[in-house]
A and B are shown apart, each in its own frame.
Chain A
Amino acid sequence: MSSLHTTDALLVVEDLRVSFAAGGREIRAVDGVSYQVDAGRTLAIIGESGSGKTVGCRAIMGLLPGTAAISGSARLRGTEMIGLSDSELRRHRGQDMAMIFQDPARSLNPTMRVGAQITEAITTHRKVSKSEARAQAIELLRLVRIPAAERRFHEYPHQLSGGMRQRIMIAMALACRPKLLIADEATTALDVTTQAQIMELLLELQAELGMGLILISHDLGLAASYADEVVVMYAGRIVEQAPAKRLFGAGGTVKMRYTRALLDAIPHLERPAHTDLPVVGGRPPDPTALPVGCSFAPRCPAVEDDCTAKEPALAEHAAGHRWACYHPCENGVSA
């Protein structure tokens, strides 16, 4: 039976809540989220934009603006991260937990050589000489499979291709061998081939370094291919949570309507030609005005009266598989 606290747990998040004040109103970006990542395992957090998937992880890293109100618990190897001051969190950032971002073109300082950006990651946490840092940086460049590492060291970000820039980001993130790596839409801005290469690289490095990996994405296919455990978020809450094997592939039992809709929306080769794509109708809910009851109800094809009356709780209805729905799919297909 799954318990929320196993001894291998690298990151344990409990009831994480994040709110913002914008334009005089309160936005509940993350509304009570709990999950766990183990060393050497991959967790995928899937959701649309605005679902709170990025905000939650940034809250753990302490990268949100000061106007964010964060509560709950996020323990990295037993150390509580929520509530730490910025100077305390800084010691963990880059060293114990690291993050790579979506658009490597914008995420790298355009006026600084890439080598310098990597050595900065090293010297922030370790007291090493300049030449030692340089040697380590070049080693990192080789680790992420960048050819001609010595030459690349002195180049500027705009002189590199998108895939290479993302490798630089990974090199920076791994500079101090963190235990947890968060990849926030890391492959979204890349073309499909490069995407696969980067993902393969990430998994290899994960195995080599024994890291826990969190993949944040809107792409359910990515989760299916690379994740061990999947968390689906909607409107700031977790709506389905299960090991990947239970959700995807043959005999997959997706329960939540939203997840089902996401899966159905992925185009397959086997689809008959010239049929409509079953897209999820409607738009994500306004975070300042969440509907009563299930937040997905306005867009759900199988909505019933009790859905709009009271919000369904996230409950473990089957082994290791949690969902929040009164009328889940049966046998993995929409009823």
Chain B
Amino acid sequence: MLATPAPPPLPSLVDARRLRSQRIGRALRLWVPAGILIGLLGICFVLPLVVTLPSSTNGNIIYNNEAPFSPGHLLGTNVQGVDIFSQLVYGGQLTFEISLSVTLIGVVIGGTLGVAAAYFGGWADAVISRVLDILLAFPALVLALVIAEGLGPSELHLIWALAVFAIPAQGRVARGATLTVRGLSYMTAARLSGTRPWRIITRHVLPNILPGIVTFSLLGIGIVVIIEGAIDFLGYGIQLPQASWGSMITQGQNIESVQPEYVLIPSIALVITVVALNMLGDALRERWGVQ
């Protein structure tokens, strides 16, 4: 008679080290970009309050074309003697203000429209979807440029012009996410049990679509940053002498063959910002399991 005795407790077959490195990797991918973004925001918004920076608009022509790390000018000065680091900081303020406002407007208005369209369906959906499609089909850049040209360039105009682009984008995402949630069984159960639409939306729909909207918004902020830079670059956005990252690139292009850092510095700032946003979006998507 063959007896297989009860097996002794299993020494772990799976590498504990690998498990730990998986966990560390995941945490890093979330907190490093988050840290970078917080750092950038801090530099742009908090630093000027604490430290007096040289003017970002007026420069002493005597000190022009200073190299980076010269005394008093962390990143040097440009052709007119304006401190580059200050330009970066104040330009960054504008960039963040604009992109965050645009995205917020997009989420609030577009999100409401999208959820309403998906939840109530029927005519509401048909009409809202068509309107969103029309807005999306329109080239955003043209709209922003025309508004700037026709009404005069200002930060507020820029925000509204770009919001026209963000609203339908967010609306579509919100609509798609709500449609998915709407099909779930517990939603039908809630509806059948007579819960009022408002409660269903706030307690069931919103918490479930929020992760998708947040991750998309992070991507969206990045896109707005780039487009806003493009508008400044073309000369239609933030007007000189106020600095913006896009206009710094424009100024830099004239002499980039001689001193490429004028183009490189704001470009690098742009890239770092958008990369951090994208990485954060990816990491959050990973953590929350959003598609």
Contacts and interface: CB of A to CB of B under 8 A. Distances in A.
Given A24-B19, A31-B7, A19 B2 contact: no
Interface string B2-40: 111111001011110011101100000000000000000
The SS class assigned to the A binding surface is strand
B18 A21 contact: yes
B1 interface: yes
B13 A313 contact: no
B7 A32 contact: yes
A313 B19 contact: no
A2 B2 CA distance: 8
Interface in A90-122: none
Contacts, number: 46
A313 B5 contact: yes
Contacts of B20: 24
A26 B14 CA distance: 7
B221 to A, nearest CB: 30
Interface in A9-53: 15, 17, 19-21, 24, 26, 28, 31-32, 34
Given A20-B14, A28-B10, A313 B4 contact: yes
A160 to B, nearest CB: 27
A32 B8 CA distance: 10
Given A21-B19, A24-B22, A24-B23, A71 B4 contact: no
Contact of A15 (B3, B7, B15, B19): B7
A2 B3 CA distance: 11
Of B7, B12, B13, which is in contact with the most chain A CB atoms at under 10 Å from its CB?
A: B13
A130 to B, nearest CB: 39
B16 to A, nearest CB: 9
A3 interface: yes
A19 B13 contact: yes
Contact of A19 (B3, B6, B14, B22): B14
Interface residues of A, number: 24
Contacts of B6: 310-314
Contacts of B13: 17, 19, 26, 69, 71
B82 to A, nearest CB: 52
A316 B1 contact: yes
Nearest to B4: A314
A84 interface: no
A197 to B, nearest CB: 32
A31 B12 CA distance: 12
B68 to A, nearest CB: 45
Contacts of B19: 21, 24
25 contacts: A2-B2, A3-B2, A20-B14, A21-B14, A21-B15, A21-B18, A21-B19, A24-B19, A26-B12, A26-B14, A31-B10, A34-B4, A69-B13, A71-B13, A311-B6, A313-B3, A313-B4, A313-B5, A313-B6, A314-B4, A315-B3, A315-B4, A316-B1, A316-B2, A316-B3
Given A21-B18, A24-B22, 8 more contacts: A15-B7, A17-B10, A17-B13, A20-B14, A21-B15, A71-B13, A310-B6, A316-B3
Interface of B: 1-7, 10, 12-15, 18-20, 22-23
